[in-house]
Amino acid sequence: IAVQQWPGLSPRPTRELRAHHDYRVEFMSKLQLLNSIRGSNQSAPTGTASTPAAATSTPTQKAVLAQDNDNIASNIDTPLKTPLSLLSEPSLSKKRDYVADDSASTNTNTISNLDRIEQELQELQRLHKRSYVGYQPVRGNNLDTQWVAGMSIGTPAQEFSVVFDTGSSDLWISSTNCQSLVCMNLRRFNPLRSSTFHQDGRTWSIKYADNSWVSGVLGKDDMTVAGIPVKDQTFGMASLNTGSTADTGVDGIMGLGFDSNAEIGDVKTPVKNMILQNQIDQAIVSVWLNKASNQDASLSNGGVFIFGGVDTTLFTGSITYLPVTSSKEWQITVDQLFIGRKELSLSNAASSAIVDTGSSYILFPDYLATAFHRAIPNSQYDSKLGWLIPCALANWRSELDMTFVLGGKKFSVPISDIVILKSEYNGYCLSAIDSWQELPGHGSQSGILLGDLFIKNQYVVYDYENKPRIGFATKVETAPGGIGLNVKNTAGAGWRYMMESSRLNRVRMLLLGMVASSLMSML
């Protein structure tokens, strides 16, 4: 997003706004251009990293992304309505009655302590009875450029496909007031069919860098995502959509950023409302994305977003946490960057990195993108296509892997993931590492954007607590079946577990320990 302004509010000219859509459009434009070169039997782009090759074709219009997203909207099934069984409480009353019936042989102080602890346990259960961890599977595409989730709004529920975007903080959905051809291919929210809908009255609009627009009015309704209900969520209802995410078959965007990054200051994000309404156990969203190469033919088992906690079956070792260094963005500090064994020099500005689930690949400032590709043998630059690298690198193992040092630990992206094989022409492929300068209006960016190319190779934890932080761990490449990633309608499936706070567990363990001691004294 290059320009975004809510009517009645002054724009924020110092802020560089969302770029992930712009980059996706720019990438697909390059891919279409490369395909047109291939079709016309022109020679391969020539040149070296230090001497850009001359353009060999004329620019084409921005590509429509639906062709490479496998018609996501039509493939997403209705979400599952049956949640997994909740963890059942042990029958503590029977244990206490058993001890009390034989009170002549038990210590009265123990009984008193049991009563007191059980009362505290019951109070904690009452306070935490609605704390959950919610699992929301996502569907990928064959380019690993986007992962789409299911969610619902209204009563009865109306189902939609959205992108979870940690780089923005607003929720918006296409509405029935949008009558353009673009919207006709989307599922649209109908406020007249929801008994819990309330009109907000304010209007909103978003302008993208490719001059497409999304605009409409604000509404308020109940929503559900990952099996977690949220009451009275304010969201945008798009009545004008000239392109933007509609090109990918996505009905809207659900921002997972901070409240401070929302375009209307008094609107709480869905995650913030989950926390305030005591619907998740912890103020955490964790992410495990599956690569297209590891998925089945339907690309349905694309990964999972977990609201309220982490799943230890999805990573190995410990989680390395880094403090967030921005009040608005999920931004961290990069210690070092390597391509193979070669360290790339990071300026102070370039050491800041935003970790963004709404962006497809990785963006560097221009000097760093150049240094990175110069370290790759036979890489080339084309003035229209950008950086090109040998497709044969897709079969390399680790000699040219990219490694980020974060919090003193190494987290890598294999060189094979940086090669975009769908763009192959005469042995050259587009690189998934690009420069901000390739995006009109974003050339002044001096930091790093770590998009899904990086995230799909790690297990990532977004912690929203008072001192926000981001955690990284080594992901398992194949998810265990227990989290349901093999369910065919995964993009719509969502469920939640009841979770118990650590204090609740400690009280339970103390109670059960005292019961065991009392029983032993009776023997």
Highest mean pLDDT among 25-39, 80-94, 182-196, 297-311: 182-196
Is residue 154 predicted with pLDDT exceeding 60?
A: yes
Rounded to whole angstroms, how far apart are CA atoms 233 and 224? 10
Residue 453 included in any domain: yes
Give a yes or no: residue 98 inside a domain.
yes
- Span 487-508, average pLDDT: 44
396 lies in the same domain as 515: no
Spatial distance between the Cα atoms of 343 and 351, rounded to a whole number of angstroms: 13
pLDDT over threshold 50, residue 328: yes
| 336 lies in the same domain as 423 | yes
Does 454 share its domain with 396?
yes
CB-based contact 389:372 (threshold 8 Å): no
Query: How many CB atoms are closer than 10 A to CB 125?
Result: 16
Which one-letter DSSP state was computed for residue 104? G
CA 451 from centroid of its chain's CA atoms: 9
Tokens of 200: 């907000």
Distance set, CA 375 to CA 49, 370, 400 (Å): 9, 9, 9
pLDDT of res. 335: 98
CATH number at residue 443: 2.40.70.10
Is residue 348 located within the same domain as residue 438? yes
Give the active site residues.
165, 356
- Amino acid 143: pLDDT: 84
Higher pLDDT among residues 141 and 104, named by residue? 141
DSSP E strand stretches across 391-516 = 402-406, 409-413, 419-425, 428-431, 433-435, 448-450, 459-463, 469-475, 495-498
CA-nearest of 388, 422, 488 to 69 is: 422
- Using one digit for the tens of pLDDT, what is the confidence trace for 446-465? 799 999 999 999 999 999 98
Mean of pLDDT over the chain: 75
End-of-domain residue from the set 407, 441, 459: 459
Give the least confident one: 164-173, 185-194, 238-247, 423-432: 238-247
| Residue 419 in domain | yes
Q: Could you tell me which of 402, 257, 258, 261 has the C-alpha nearest to residue 334?
A: 402
Domain boundary among 436, 459, 482: 459
Contact between 313 and 306 under an 8 Å Cβ cutoff? The reply is no
Tokens of 53: 């090759």
Q: What pLDDT is recorded for position 80?
A: 30
Let me know whether 349 and 436 are in one domain.
yes
**What are the structure tokens assigned to 258, written together?**
């901070």
Least confident of 117-121, 353-357, 463-467: 117-121
Residue 56 resides in a domain:
yes
Inform me whether the pLDDT recorded for 218 exceeds 70: yes
**Is residue 405 domain-shared with residue 511, that is, in the same domain?**
no
- 73 domain residue, yes or no: no
Which pLDDT score is estimated for 324? 97
Same domain, 449 and 378: yes
Does one domain contain both 124 and 9?
no
Indicate whether 454 and 376 sit together in one domain. Answer: yes
Domain that holds residue 512: 94-129+503-522
Total count of domains within the chain? 2
Question: Which residues neighbour 97 within 8 Å (Cβ) at sequence distance 6 or greater?
Answer: none
- Give me 419's structure tokens: 């090669």
Query: Pick from 212, 248, 216: which is nearest to 18 by CA?
Result: 212
Q: With respect to residue 378, please indicate whether it lies within any of the assigned structural domains.
A: yes
**Mean pLDDT (whole number) for 53-60:** 36
Quick one: 18 and 124 in the same domain?
Answer: no
pLDDT at position 497: 52
**Res. 331: pLDDT tops 80:** yes
Q: Which residue has the higher pLDDT, 85 or 473?
A: 473
Is 243 inside any structural domain?
Answer: no
User: Is 54's pLDDT higher than 70?
Assistant: no
Per-residue pLDDT, 50: 39
Tell me if 270 is assigned to some domain.
no
Residues 393 and 513 reside in one and the same domain: no
pLDDT band at 369 (very low <50, low <70, confident <90, very high): very high
**Are residues 390 and 514 located together in one domain of the fold?**
no
pLDDT band at 488 (very low <50, low <70, confident <90, very high): very low
First to last CA, the chain: 72
- In angstroms, the CA 391 to CA 42 distance is 18
